[in-house]
Structure 1
Amino acid sequence: MGHTDQVSLGTTEDQERSWGRVLDGGFFAFSGVAGAWFAYVLLRDGVRPGWPTLLLLVFWVFFSYLVLPRVHRILTAIYLPGYFVGRTRTSAGLLGDPVNLGFVGDAGQVHGALTRAGWTLADEVGMSSAAGIVRSVLQRRSYPAAPISPLHLFDRRQDFAYEQEVAGTALRRHHIRVWRCPDGWLLPGGFRTDWLGAATFDRGVGLSLFTLQVTHRIEEDIDVERDFVVASVCAAVPGAEVRVIENFSSGYHHRNGGGDRIRTDGDLPILDVRAAPPREGAHLAGGAHLAARRARVGDAPESVLVGVGVALARSAAYGVGAVVYAARESGSAPAVLVAVLAVAEAVLAVAVLAARNWARLVLVGGCSVAAVTTMVVSVVGHRPPVGLGELLAAGGSIIVLLALSSPEARDWATARPSVVRPGVGA
């Protein structure tokens, strides 16, 4: 292939990616509008006597876990800087816990140091681990490796996290999230470190001030937890050294992404753990291996699993409806059309789970059309979707739209470098 052909192919691929970004941006923004409208419908129709009162609970779940996070992601993408500011970000894009610790050493040495210091590697966030932490709380049982919610730094979630339970419950725990720094990256001021961490102490469970979601609440003085991590590692690894970058950030009082108050003096200790014996198999907790894990269907992001699950449920419901309608009307054309739509949605959902971006875009586009139609009928026709069937149909379309237009779903389907960066971690 000649040089000209290579340039032409490269230009075509760039144009396709550019159009894809524009399309994804449109779906992402519209999903916020559609979600806000549907949340309003749930609230409006829920303030009535009888069964519609149950819609208020549905409203809280929908508004807190789908709409508010999307609104925050849209707004923070506009006003928050994209460079390093010493703060992590939540999945909704809000400023999260401050970065308050650094490590020098390779992955095995960091894992080895924390393990020798009595810390437990947290399980990955997933369906089974989420169910495990719920069971542990309800049954008041210990779960030393309970999952820790993701925070983002360098445009990606933590490489790994460690924790120590207090009083045998995951409600109260010491924990630290750790990120691998990009190759050749320097801290402001020219300081070098291999890893950065955010250490805080979970003191209980409550509602997030900004999203109204159930979340852990942290102790205000995060310096106490930072110093606890340093002390535990230094006690377990005699050769560990500590260098403190004083006044790395301004001492301040503020709030994290959950609305908890945080207070720090701004110092940043850097722990040199190169003297720690490496933990066997530590390479399995960060790095390029995650590319293989996340390429498996079972490790699809939660947003993809939710979107695909709702789409498959809708497809099944449409299929049952088509059969019932055909039995009543003896094989009418509308029943055949509904059956075709049911099969098409099921095929698209399975293709999305297999990381096919074209299927994701087609499914999101179809749900957008359905949402627009419902909104127009509701506003122009003065016929709000108050029926249970109509609520489920409209809500299903909007949930699929919200889930599959998320950056995580887009990255899953396009395998963009922001998901996994070889040599940096994921």
Structure 2
Amino acid sequence: MRRRMAVALIVLPVLYAAAAYVLAPLAWDFIDRSSPVPDTSPRLTETADHRPGDPLNVMLIADEARLTAAMLAAGWTAADPLGVRSALDIAADIMLDRPYAAAPVSRLYLFGRAEDLAFEKPAGPDPKTRHHVRLWRLAETAGEGAPRFIGAVSFDKGIGFSRETGQLTHHISAEVDRERDGLRNDLERTGLVTRSVLEPGFHPVLSGRNGGGDSWVTDGALWIGTLAATP
């Protein structure tokens, strides 16, 4: 009996890992490739296996150094790169209720590539709850001036299993507009925002689900902030 239990304790986690982290992503990738939908102006990020991610809702106009300085002045922290060491660190800090202000974020994709920058602001004693934003640098065109970064800001409300793949993941709050406006307020308080515009109608679809199965709703607007040089 004990031997059977020992075997089960070894086999079941292996089967779960294979199903959640290998078979399910392969199935979603097959579905996506079977019915490709070209999108030259995406409004949503996507997961590595091409499922919908979080909605885009912010654009920051500044070079990377200026943007980073403004985010730090606003009380946000640059996220550590995702890797084996940082993944183990965040897992340990969640289990032990320890702070990790620079905890890594999972990768999302836009234009076929992962985010260029990621920032976060803790909302609790450990990395389970946090405000976070991923940003992608847009291709530059002649006469546009400062670089533009478009991104998706949302709130991690806890850890759980993905409803799509069964993987362990952060779950986001549905109120993504609240996070968009919170980031705008944080940056405006620094005095480094020289122009602030809320562009309506950016999202033609005002609700959906991300790759973890989490619902989101939006008024459809994109906040565009232009950042000044820091003193």
> Is TM-score (shorter-chain normalized) higher than 0.5?
yes
Alignment of structure 1 residues 90-129 onto 2, 5 Å: 90-129=47-86
What per-residue deviation string (whole Å, max 9, x for no partner) do you get for residues 290-342 of structure 1?
Answer: xxxxxxxxxxxxxxxxxxxxxxxxxxxxxxxxxxxxxxxxxxxxxxxxxxxxx
Measured in 1, the distance between the counterparts of 2:38 and 2:76 equals 32
Does the 8 Å CA contact 2:164/2:212 hold for their aligned counterparts? yes
Measured in 1, the distance between the counterparts of 2:83 and 2:156 equals 20
Does the 8 Å CA contact 1:179/1:196 hold for their aligned counterparts? yes
Measured in 2, the distance between the counterparts of 1:77 and 1:145 equals 35
Q: Which has the higher contact order (CA 8 A, sep 6+)?
A: 2
Measured in 2, the distance between the counterparts of 1:143 and 1:246 equals 35
Alignment of structure 1 residues 216-365 onto 2, 5 Å: 216-273=170-227, 275-277=228-230
Could you tell me how far 1:154 is from its partner in structure 2? Answer: 1.2
- Counterpart in the other structure of 1:139: 96
Measured in 2, the distance between the counterparts of 1:239 and 1:53 equals 57
Residue of 147, 150, 160 corresponding to 1:206:
160
TM-score under structure 2 length normalisation: 0.90
Alpha carbons of 1:89 and 1:239: their partners in 2 closer, same or farther (altered >3 Å)? closer
- Which structure has greater strand proportion? 2
- Structure 1 unaligned blocks of 5 or more: 1-48, 186-191, 279-426
Alpha carbons of 1:239 and 1:205: their partners in 2 closer, same or farther (altered >3 Å)? closer
Measured in 2, the distance between the counterparts of 1:75 and 1:240 equals 44
* 1:57 equivalenced with 2:10 (yes/no): no
- Counterpart in the other structure of 1:318: none
Measured in 1, the distance between the counterparts of 2:38 and 2:169 equals 26
Does the 8 Å CA contact 1:204/1:218 hold for their aligned counterparts? yes
Does the 8 Å CA contact 2:140/2:147 hold for their aligned counterparts? no
TM-score under structure 1 length normalisation: 0.50
- Counterpart in the other structure of 2:133: 176
Sequence identity of aligned pairs in percent? 33
**Corresponding residue pairs, total:** 223
Does the 8 Å CA contact 2:70/2:192 hold for their aligned counterparts? no
Is the partner of 1:229 in helix, strand or coil?
helix
Could you tell me how far 1:92 is from its partner in structure 2? Answer: 1.6
- The letter of the residue matching 1:254 is G
Structure with higher Rg: it is 1
Is the partner of 1:62 in helix, strand or coil?
helix
- Counterpart in the other structure of 1:4: none
Superposed CA RMSD in Å reads: 1.9
Measured in 1, the distance between the counterparts of 2:124 and 2:113 equals 32
Alpha carbons of 1:253 and 1:60: their partners in 2 closer, same or farther (altered >3 Å)? same
- Which structure has greater helix proportion? 1
- Counterpart in the other structure of 1:162: 119
- Structure 2 unaligned blocks of 5 or more: none
